[in-house]
Amino acid sequence: MTDRHAQIAVVTGAGSGIGRAVAVELLRAGWSVALAGRHTATLEETAALAPGAAAIVVRTDVARPDDVTELFAATVRRFGRLDLLFNNAGTFGPGGVPVEDLAYEAWKHVVDTNLNGAFLCAQAAYRQMKDQRPQGGRIINNGSISAHTPRPHSAPYTATKHALTGLTKALSLDGRPYRIAVGQIDIGNAATEMTARMESGALQANGEVASEPTMDVADVARTVRHMAELPLEANVQFATVLATAMPYVGRG
């Protein structure tokens, strides 16, 4: 990185899956990391995977503005500044529900978490990065293969991930004067608790149910770290990391 101090990160959704893998990768590489998520116990489990590293646990529901404000305030109180936000918290929502049967409450929950939560965290990070000295930092949004191509019965998740791409582009443009670099990683079938069903069978566009290959989530974590450790003069705008043989190119 351009600034050697620039090793302060916030990782949302850090209690499991991709968020946990990225947080641990950063901690083991010497970063100081604020671990954010809804469950303190799972965040503490994440911190324990990198013993001796500089981690703080901040219970956070990213859909709640007051929680987000406290997350970033706690990070700055503890570490003095912010250099990276990995905007990762998200939910698939109810699986396999046709759009005509989808409850509004289920739609709203996915939108509040995946889109509104990502905006609130990005806004708080942007404000801190703009005001601090040295100025600047990086935001990496966790998109999805669904930011490009939907799966059947995934309207809430797909809509939010498409919207996240627009948010990434807008933030990237607005951040230029302040050395705030914004990029997005789109991930397909990383092996986590949330994707365990892929190997047993996932609904395909042709109506069949088929097993899908997955990849090691550590490969995602290493990619995020690479993006994070670029100098602020360089940016990975969009990266797609996926299981090589998953049905994506030509899906359906």
Other beta carbons within 10 Å of 226: 11
Give the tokens for residue 55. Answer: 């981690």
243 phi/psi in degrees, rounded to 5: -60, 130
Per-residue pLDDT tens digits for 16-72: 999 999 999 999 999 999 999 999 999 999 999 999 999 999 999 999 999 999 999
Strand order across the beta sheet in which 238-242 lies:
55-59, 32-37, 8-12, 84-87, 137-142, 180-188, 238-242
E strand or H helix at 1: none
How is residue 150 annotated by DSSP? P
**pTM, two decimal places:** 0.91
Q: Measuring CA to CA, which residue among 20, 52, 49 is closest to residue 35?
A: 20
* In the chain, % of residues over pLDDT 70: 94
Amino acid (1-letter code) at residue 14: A
- Residues in the chain with pLDDT values less than 70: 1-6, 194-199, 250-252
Residue carrying the six token digits 């997005």: 184
Domains and CATH numbers, the chain: 8-242 (3.40.50.720)
Note if the bond before 134 is cis, omega within 30 degrees: yes
Does the annotation mark 157 as catalytic?
A: yes
Q: Which of 126, 157, 178, 248 is catalytic?
A: 157
As beta bridge partners, residue 141 has 87, 184
* Rounded Cα distance, 145 and 222, in Å: 18
How is residue 95 annotated by DSSP? T
